[in-house]
C-alpha cells in the first residue's frame, strides 16, 4: 500500500485583510504538520480573499498577494500546500492555485471554468484558462509554470479542479484521469444555499469514482465579504467512498479535515476498469516534477464525524439558524461593530432577527469556548465582565419596541417576552407624540386635516418613518449595527416603508420568504437548534396574524388583507421571478396548484397585483440594506436578480391576463 495523509483546510478569510488571512493560513499549515499531513488543500483565493470584487483590478492586489505567498513559503517545510491567488499574464488576470512543496513554489494550476451565474461575477475579473496550455510566469525573480498542470510529487500525480471546474459537464478531472492523476485537489469558494451540501457531496463522490482518484474538496468558511456565507464544507473521498467530512458553520478561524488515502488502491481500481484508456502519447506534456519525499505512515481507519444536528429531520432549519448566526457574528467582528440593535415590533420578522442575533453567542461559545469567543471580540472588553451567555447577549443586543396609538398590548407583550427570553436588553419608546407633531405640521402646510379616507398611505408611512431616527440614535450611541427586519416576500411587492422599517445597515432575512419565516418561528418555539432547544416565548408571536399595526385597530389590519395570502404571494413570486413566467403563465400555474382553494377571479387579481407592485417597487429593492444570500431565489439586485427601475410595468401582459379572465367569467 502507498499511503499518504491529506487534509482539506477551511479558512475564515476576509477580502484584502492581508495579515489576518496570512495568519490563518500559517496556523492551518502548522496544525496540518502537527497532524502529520503531507498534502494540504486550502480554499480558492485564500490569500486575497475571494470577494475582492473590483479590487482584483488593482495592480496592488496581485502584487501584495505574491508578497504574502513568498512570506508563507517557510511555513511549508516538509509539506505540500495549495494556496489560491490571482496571477496576471499576457494582459489577463487568472484565478490560480499555487502548489508549494517543502518551501518551494512548484507551479500554478489555473481555473478553466469561471462562475458567472447567480452571485458570482468571475468573468468580470478573470479570464478562463485555455485547456492544454502551459506558460511561465514571474513571481519575484523566478519563473514558474502555469496552466492545467499535473504535479509529480515522489511519483504521486496531483491535479486540480478549482471550484466551478467540478460543476460543469466536461470536468477537467476527466482529462487529468487520462494522464494518470492520483489525487485531485478542489479549492473552492462555494457560497451556502439550502441543499447545496448534498450537490457538492455528489460531485466529490462521483469525481473520485469516475476518475479513480482520491478527491480533496475544501471551501471557505463564514461571512467573508458581507453577503455570501460559506459553510466550511470539506470532504475527502476515494473511488466513490467518503473518508472524511467537516463540521459546517464553524465559528473557528480554520478547521482541518484529514484522511489517509491509498494511492495503490485507486490505481488498481482504474486498471481494472475496462472503459478506461490512458493517454500515453501525451502523458508527460503538462507534468511538473516536484522534489518531495512522502514519509511512510500506518493505515488509519476512517472516522466520519457528522454533527448531531445534520441527522435531525429539520436540517433546513438547523442550516438556516447556524448560517445566519455565523453570518451575523462575522459581520459584527469584521466591521468592529459594538453590538446589534433591533426594532422589535412583536411580529415574526423582528422576532426571528433578534433570536438569531442572540443565538450566535450560545452557538459560538458552545463550539469554540468562552475564551476564544472573547478573543474574537477583544475590542469589546466589557464582555469579559459577564459571567454567563445571557450577560453577553445583553451587552451585544438591544431590542426596542416603539409604540403608537395603533399598537396593541398583544404585540407589546410579545416583544417584551421574546427580548426577555433571549436575554436582550429591552427598551420601550412611545413615538405617538412625534407622529402627531408631523401630522399637525403637514396639515397646516397643506391647509387641511389629514384623514384615513384620503391619506391612508401617508398616515401609515409616517409612523414607520418616525421610528427610524430613534432606533438609529440608539445604534449610534452604542456604536452598534442596526439590523433591518425586511423579508423577501415584502421586498417583492414593496410592502415596506423606505427610511422606516427598512432602516438598517444589514438585513439578514431579506432573502427569505415570509411563509418560511413563520414556519421557522414555529420550529424555534417547539424545538429549536440542537444544543439550544425551544423558546416558548415565541408562541406569543406565532399566534398572531402578521400586521403592520399602522391603521386604527378597529380596521383589523393584516398583511395578507393588504396584499394577498403569503403562500399565494410566494408561489407567484417564484413563478414570475425565479421561473420568468409572464402573467398569463403564472395564472395558469396557479389554477393547477391552488384552484381548489381560490377562485379564478381571486387568483387573477393577485397575479395582476403582484406584477404591478413588483415593477413599481424596484427602486425600493435597490435601496435595501445588504442581505445574506441563503437560497437561490434571492431578489437582491446587487448580486442576484436584476430588473430595471423604470419599465413598461407589464401593461401589455396584464391586458392579456385581463382578457383571459373576462373570457373565463363570461363562460361561467
> In this predicted model, what pLDDT tens digit does every residue of 602-653 receive, in sequence order?
999 999 999 999 999 999 999 999 999 998 788 999 888 999 999 999 999 9
The partner residues of 86 in beta bridges, in order of sequence, read 95
Q: What is the pLDDT of residues 291-335, one digit of tens each?
A: 999 998 887 777 777 888 887 778 999 999 999 999 999 999 999
Place of cell 439558524: 321
| Cell numbers linked to 664 | 373565463
Locus of grid cell 459553510? 231
Percent of the chain predicted with pLDDT > 90: 86
pLDDT of residue 298: 83
Helices (H) and strands (E) in the chain, counts: 22, 21
CA angle 44, 48, 52 (to 5 degrees): 95
Residue 666, pLDDT score: 67
Contact 497, 461 (CB under 8 A): yes
The DSSP result for 435-451, as a single string, is HHHHHHHHHHHHTS---
Half-sphere exposure of 98 (CA within 13 A, CB side): 28
Q: Report the C-alpha gap between 205 and 225 in whole angstroms.
A: 30
Find residue 403's DSSP bridge partners. Answer: 430
Q: Mean pLDDT per 10-residue run, the chain (668 residues)?
A: 94 98 98 97 98 96 98 97 97 97 97 93 96 93 95 96 96 92 97 94 96 97 96 96 95 97 92 75 77 88 78 88 98 98 96 98 96 97 93 97 93 97 98 96 95 92 94 97 94 92 94 93 96 96 83 79 91 95 97 93 96 96 93 87 94 96 76
> How confident is the model at residue 304, as a pLDDT?
77
What angle do helix axes 315-335 and 514-526 make, rounded to 10 degrees?
100
- List, in sequence order, every beta strand (DSSP E) within 274-424: 287-290, 340-343, 397-403
pLDDT value for 283: 58
Give the predicted TM-score (pTM) of the model. 0.94
Q: Is the dihedral of CA 111, 116, 119, 121 positive or negative?
A: positive
- 592: which 3 cell numbers? 393547477
Residue holding cell 500559517? 26
Structural domains of the chain, with CATH: 3-306 (3.60.110.10), 313-560 (3.40.50.620), 564-668 (1.10.10)
Q: How confident is the model at residue 586, as a pLDDT? A: 97
Q: How far apart are CA 504 and CA 283, in angstroms?
A: 58
In sequence order, the 6+-apart residues with CB closer than 8 A to the CB of 202 are: none
Q: Are 10 and 252 in contact (CB under 8 A)?
A: no
DSSP 97: E
Nearest residue to 95 via CA among 84, 103, 106, 105: 84
User: Got the DSSP string for 141-155?
Assistant: TEEEEEES-EEEETT
Q: Residue 128 and residue 178: Cα distance in Å, rounded?
A: 22
Pairing of strands 397-403, 425-430: parallel
Alpha-carbon gap, residue 232 to 230, rounded angstroms: 6
Q: What percent of the chain has pLDDT over 70?
A: 99
Amino acid at each position: 500500500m502507498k499511503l499518504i495523509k491529506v487534509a482539506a483546510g477551511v479558512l475564515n478569510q476576509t477580502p484584502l485583510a492581508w495579515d489576518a488571512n496570512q495568519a490563518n493560513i500559517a496556523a492551518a499549515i502548522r496544525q496540518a504538520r502537527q497532524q502529520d499531513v503531507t498534502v494540504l488543500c486550502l480554499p480558492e483565493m485564500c490569500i486575497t480573499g475571494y470577494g475582492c470584487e473590483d479590487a482584483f483590478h488593482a495592480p496592488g492586489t496581485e502584487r501584495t498577494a505574491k508578497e504574502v505567498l513568498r512570506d508563507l513559503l517557510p511555513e511549508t517545510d516538509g509539506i505540500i500546500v495549495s494556496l489560491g491567488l490571482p496571477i496576471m499574464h499576457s494582459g489577463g488576470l487568472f484565478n490560480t492555485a499555487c502548489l508549494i512543496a517543502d518551501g518551494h513554489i512548484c507551479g500554478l494550476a489555473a481555473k478553466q471554468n469561471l462562475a458567472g451565474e447567480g452571485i458570482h461575477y468571475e468573468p468580470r475579473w478573470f479570464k478562463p484558462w485555455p485547456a492544454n496550455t502551459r506558460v511561465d510566469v514571474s513571481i519575484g525573480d523566478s519563473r514558474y509554470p502555469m496552466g492545467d498542470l499535473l504535479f509529480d510529487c515522489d511519483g504521486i500525480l496531483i491535479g486540480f479542479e478549482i471550484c466551478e471546474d467540478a460543476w460543469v459537464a466536461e470536468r477537467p478531472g476527466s482529462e487529468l484521469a487520462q494522464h494518470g492523476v492520483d489525487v485531485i485537489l478542489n479549492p473552492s469558494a462555494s457560497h451556502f444555499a439550502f441543499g447545496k451540501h448534498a450537490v457538492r457531496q455528489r460531485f466529490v463522490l462521483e469525481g473520485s469514482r469516475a476518475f479513480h482518484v482520491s478527491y480533496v474538496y475544501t471551501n471557505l468558511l463564514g461571512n467573508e465579504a458581507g453577503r455570501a456565507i460559506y459553510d466550511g464544507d470539506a470532504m475527502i473521498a476515494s473511488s466513490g467512498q467518503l473518508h472524511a467530512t467537516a463540521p459546517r458553520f464553524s465559528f473557528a478561524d480554520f478547521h482541518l479535515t484529514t484522511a489517509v488515502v491509498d494511492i495503490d488502491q485507486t490505481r488498481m481500481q482504474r486498471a481494472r476498469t475496462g472503459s478506461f484508456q490512458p493517454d500515453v502519447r501525451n502523458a508527460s506534456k503538462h507534468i511538473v516534477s516536484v522534489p518531495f519525499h512522502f514519509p511512510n505512515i500506518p493505515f488509519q481507519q476512517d472516522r466520519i464525524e457528522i454533527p448531531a444536528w445534520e441527522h435531525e429531520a429539520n436540517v433546513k432549519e438547523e442550516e438556516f439558524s447556524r448560517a445566519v448566526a455565523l453570518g451575523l457574528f462575522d459581520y459584527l467582528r469584521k466591521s468592529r461593530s459594538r453590538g446589534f440593535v433591533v426594532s422589535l415590533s412583536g411580529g415574526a420578522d423582528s422576532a426571528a432577527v433578534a433570536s438569531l442575533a442572540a443565538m450566535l453567542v450560545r452557538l459560538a461559545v458552545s463550539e469554540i469556548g468562552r475564551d476564544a469567543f472573547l478573543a474574537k471580540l477583544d475590542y469589546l472588553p466589557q464582555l469579559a465582565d459577564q459571567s454567563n451567555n445571557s450577560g453577553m447577549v445583553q451587552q451585544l443586543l438591544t431590542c426596542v419596541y416603539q409604540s403608537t396609538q395603533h399598537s396593541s398590548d398583544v404585540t407589546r407583550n410579545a416583544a417584551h417576552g421574546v427580548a426577555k427570553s433571549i436575554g436582550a436588553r429591552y427598551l420601550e419608546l412611545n413615538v405617538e407624540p412625534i407622529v402627531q407633531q408631523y401630522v399637525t405640521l403637514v396639515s397646516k402646510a397643506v391647509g387641511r386635516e389629514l384623514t384615513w379616507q384620503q391619506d391612508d398611505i401617508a398616515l401609515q408611512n409616517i409612523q414607520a418613518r418616525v421610528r427610524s431616527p430613534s432606533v438609529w440614535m440608539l445604534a449610534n450611541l452604542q456604536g452598534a449595527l442596526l439590523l433591518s427586519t425586511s423579508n423577501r416576500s415584502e421586498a417583492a411587492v414593496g410592502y415596506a416603508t423606505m427610511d422606516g422599517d427598512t432602516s438598517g445597515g444589514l438585513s439578514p432575512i431579506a432573502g427569505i420568504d415570509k411563509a418560511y419565516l413563520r414556519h421557522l418561528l414555529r420550529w424555534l418555539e417547539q424545538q429549536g437548534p440542537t444544543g439550544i432547544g425551544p423558546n416558548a416565548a415565541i408562541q406569543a408571536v406565532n399566534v398572531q396574524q402578521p400586521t403592520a399595526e399602522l391603521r386604527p385597530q378597529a380596521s383589523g389590519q393584516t398583511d395578507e388583507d393588504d396584499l394577498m395570502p403569503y403562500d399565494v404571494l410566494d408561489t407567484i413570486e417564484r413563478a414570475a421571478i425565479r421561473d420568468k413566467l409572464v402573467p398569463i403563465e403564472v395564472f395558469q400555474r396557479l389554477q393547477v396548484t391552488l384552484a381548489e382553494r381560490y377562485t379564478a377571479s381571486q387568483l387573477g387579481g393577485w397575479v395582476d397585483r403582484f406584477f404591478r407592485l413588483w415593477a413599481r417597487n424596484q427602486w425600493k429593492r435597490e435601496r435595501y440594506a445588504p442581505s445574506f444570500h441563503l437560497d437561490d431565489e434571492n431578489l437582491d439586485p446587487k448580486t442576484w436578480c436584476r430588473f430595471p427601475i423604470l419599465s413598461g410595468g407589464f401593461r401589455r401582459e396584464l391586458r392579456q391576463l385581463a382578457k383571459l379572465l373576462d373570457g373565463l367569467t363570461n363562460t361561467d
